[in-house]
Structure 1
């Protein structure tokens, strides 16, 4: 099963590419589907593609819930394999 997760944009490379913090790991993601993206924004990431922006408070709550459930590490491993 593959889930979409919130990630924080750390660097914008060009109109289609950014670097995001994915559970402490910096990875290149595709941002072509999102307009008006800024460094520090949170996006929902699915299979390497940013689908839409998300409110920072909602992103933090969601990440905290994943961490509490012990699932964030498993999700991150899946995304690392998909992005490799």
Structure 2
């Protein structure tokens, strides 16, 4: 099962504007935001992430609802978090 997981953008790269540091449940990772329009996201914005790529920008209420859903389904959430932890974009 492929799921997206919400994360909050902490910072967008200056030298690499296609990368952003995102916080997902306390885990900070660099993710690729190149699939989104340039300037669409900045610190404090929420994005839906799948294996290291931001798929779309979402609002905070949608992010909270998604996290509650993911935590409620158990293993699929654990699998998505494991995929995020294994992804390394540099």
- TM tier, shorter chain? 0.7 to 0.9
Q: What RMSD, in angstroms, separates the aligned Cα atoms of the two structures?
A: 1.6
Alignment partner, residue 66 of structure 1: 70
Question: 8 Å contact 2:4–2:80 — kept in the other structure?
Answer: no
Question: 8 Å contact 1:43–1:54 — kept in the other structure?
Answer: yes
Gaps of 5+ in 1: none
Pick from 66, 76, 82 the counterpart of residue 77 of structure 1: 82
How many residue pairs get matched? Answer: 83
* Distance in 2 separating the partners of 1:73 and 1:22: 13
| TM-score (norm: length of structure 1) | 0.83
| TM-score (norm: length of structure 2) | 0.78
Please state how far the C-alpha of 1:75 moved relative to its aligned partner: 2.0
* Distance in 1 separating the partners of 2:26 and 2:71: 12
Question: Which ranges of 4 or more aligned residues in structure 1 deviate by more than 4 Å?
Answer: none
